Amino acid sequence: MTSGADHRTGPRRRGSELEDAILTAALDELTEVGLAELRMERVALRAQASKASLYRRWPSRLELAMAAVRHAFPDLDAAADTGSLRGDLLGLLRGVADQLAGPAGQALAAVLSESLLDPARAGRAGAPPGGTTLRALRLVADRAVSRGEIDPARVTDRRLEAGSALLRHHFITHGAPVPDEIVVAIVDEVALPLLTGDGLWSSRRPAPEEYARSSSPSRRHDEVSRHARCPHPSS
Amino acid sequence: MTSGADHRTGPRRRGSELEDAILTAALDELTEVGLAELRMERVALRAQASKASLYRRWPSRLELAMAAVRHAFPDLDAAADTGSLRGDLLGLLRGVADQLAGPAGQALAAVLSESLLDPARAGRAGAPPGGTTLRALRLVADRAVSRGEIDPARVTDRRLEAGSALLRHHFITHGAPVPDEIVVAIVDEVALPLLTGDGLWSSRRPAPEEYARSSSPSRRHDEVSRHARCPHPSS
């Protein structure tokens, strides 16, 4: 039995180290063979772990696959503090776009494809991928509140998720990679104004000089100049 | 040959009448057997049309399936004028939610599932379903502009699509039906404030009396009272 042997050949790992190894192996398998062909045994072999250590954590391959996708997507660590809400949102959604363009995106496509055809089964298999992104978005919003950039009364989970929903919608209907100008437009037209209430972040926005004049006094100068350097949204 | 016989047994139909019959038959087939088992011949038989009349319009079953889903979703006719932007958005997105809960939703799930696994093929098969909803949303926004409810400079396709992207995201991750309180919350927290810039449409909104006091003078009274009757968003 290969699954018995693995445990002895590799170093003894426990907890999050072992979990990381299994989820990374699952993502690699998922990308190579797809969800329909994903086998617990192959993942165990690849991670040099016992099959029991997989089944203990994830009773089925769908649960394992969803955990692998969640594991690959940006979490709290990815929500780097850039000093402004716009910078943080751009950083976070660019991170998601990067993941969508790689193996995690292929794995997510396989998982979403299965959950579309059998939503009840997907529901039983655990929270949908995207929960870690929401946690990161909440952190970004909390920082913006403490900077005084936004009113906490404006922040809701649904508003925080609007940007990533549009990004995922683009991914589902057009595939990857999602072009960077789309990510920028999603932030400037939707994600940011939903939280700031600032209508100036529109695709038909005024020229930078005009923008600086009409901008509220509380807006930070670095945001205005960073904004002026951004490519114009394509649509 | 059944496909030859059909043409003679039924009444001779042309143009949109024939197209309607074929797309309705395709949707029924898609719902019953799924995309993998969809056969042009079966659809032709069901629609009492010739196979040639199908292939002339849609070269493959994926193209036919996508056309059938587009056909089933709300179009311009569904964007009824309720007298307010909020009413129109609610009407439109409730229409989408109703479709998602029925055969069109199952058919959309099959089509999206396939396009997730092979985005290039889906791209070649035509515009993704959702285009008709966008056209209806544009009509709703145009009416709000002519009523003076919103500034045309705020309207972009991406903002218009944010609500339906969240709705579809909910459908993809949780299945159908999408509860009505989710539709209402999507309109009040995301779709409407993106267009009006009005931060009061938040999930932590004030009590109706307080709302009426703090509301801008230009807000119509009927909107305020309709709003007060709405269930509170669940999250």
pLDDT in tens, B184-228: 999 999 999 999 987 544 444 443 444 343 433 333 333 333 333
Mutate: best of A30, A190, A201, partner B, most B CBs <10 A:
A190
pLDDT for position A127: 58
A12–chain B nearest CA distance, Å: 37
pLDDT for position B126: 64
Write out chain A's pLDDT in tens, 235 residues.
444 444 445 566 778 899 999 999 999 999 888 888 999 999 999 999 999 999 999 999 989 998 998 888 766 566 789 999 999 999 999 999 998 998 888 888 888 888 888 877 777 766 555 677 888 999 999 999 999 999 999 999 999 999 999 998 899 888 889 999 999 999 999 999 999 987 544 444 443 443 343 433 333 333 333 333 333 333 3
Q: pLDDT band for position B183 (50/70/90)?
A: very high
pLDDT for position B120: 76
**Residues on chain B touching A233 (C-beta within 8 angstroms):** 156, 158
Q: Is the pLDDT of residue B235 over 60?
A: no
Which chain B residue shows the shortest CA-CA distance from A198? B197
**Residues on chain A touching B165 (C-beta within 8 angstroms):** 162, 165-166, 168-169
Interface predicted TM-score (ipTM) of this complex, two decimals: 0.75
CA-angle at B221, arms to B217 and B227, nearest 5°: 110
According to CATH, what is the number of the domain A1-57? 1.10.10.60
Average pLDDT, chain B: 79
A168–chain B nearest CA distance, Å: 8
Domain boundaries, chain B: 1-57, 73-229
pLDDT for position B2: 43
Query: What's the mean pLDDT in B80-103?
Result: 93
B59–chain A nearest CA distance, Å: 20
CB contact under 8 A, B153 and A122: no
Closest CB from A109, A168, A189 relative to B159? A189
CB contact under 8 A, A165 and B165: yes
Which chain B residue shows the shortest CA-CA distance from A116? B109
State how far Cα A166 lies from the chain centre.
12
Is the model more confident about B14 or about B110? B110
CB contact under 8 A, A122 and B151: no
Neighbours of A107 (CB within 10 A): 28
State how far Cα A204 lies from the chain centre.
28
pLDDT for position B211: 39
Is the model more confident about B148 or about A13? B148
Q: pLDDT band for position B9 (50/70/90)?
A: low
pLDDT for position B10: 58
B56–chain A nearest CA distance, Å: 25
**Residues on chain A touching B109 (C-beta within 8 angstroms):** 116-117, 119
Give me B54's structure tokens: 């199908």
CB contact under 8 A, A235 and B197: no
CB contact under 8 A, A203 and B158: yes
pLDDT in tens, B153-168: 999 999 999 999 999 8
Closest CB from A154, A190, A203 relative to B199? A154
Closest CB from B110, B189, B197 relative to A199? B197
How many whole angstroms separate alpha carbon B83 and alpha carbon B134?
20
What fold is seen in the domain A74-229? Tetracycline Repressor; domain 2 (1.10.357)
DSSP summary character for residue A149: S
Size of interface A-B (CB pairs under 8 A): 133
**Residues on chain B touching A185 (C-beta within 8 angstroms):** 158
**Residues on chain B touching A117 (C-beta within 8 angstroms):** 34, 109-110, 113
How many whole angstroms separate alpha carbon B63 and alpha carbon A51?
42
What CATH homologous superfamily does B73-229 map to? Tetracycline Repressor, domain 2 (1.10.357.10)
CB contact under 8 A, A203 and B169: no
* % of chain B surpassing 70 pLDDT: 74
CB contact under 8 A, A165 and B169: yes
Long-range CB contacts for residues B90-97, cutoff 8 Å, separation at least 24: B90/B183, B90/B184, B90/B187, B92/B133, B92/B136, B92/B137, B92/B140, B93/B163, B93/B164, B93/B167, B93/B183, B93/B186, B93/B187, B93/B191, B94/B180, B94/B183, B96/B133, B96/B164, B96/B167, B97/B167, B97/B177, B97/B178, B97/B180, B97/B183
DSSP summary character for residue A81: -
> B101 and B178 in contact (C-beta within 8 Å)?
yes
CB contact under 8 A, B154 and A194: no
Closest CB from B154, B158, B202 relative to A166? B158
Closest CB from A158, A197, A235 relative to B157? A235
Neighbours of B43 (CB within 10 A): 26
CB contact under 8 A, A235 and B156: yes
pLDDT for position B4: 44
Contacts of A194 (CB under 8 A, 6+ apart): A154, A159, A162, B190, B193, B194
Mutate: best of B62, B171, B173, partner A, most A CBs <10 A:
B173
Neighbours of A222 (CB within 10 A): 13
How many whole angstroms separate alpha carbon A109 and alpha carbon A111?
5
CA atoms within 13 A on the CB side of A211: 22
Q: Is the pLDDT of residue B26 over 60?
A: yes
pLDDT for position B216: 39
Closest CB from A122, A172, A235 relative to B116? A172
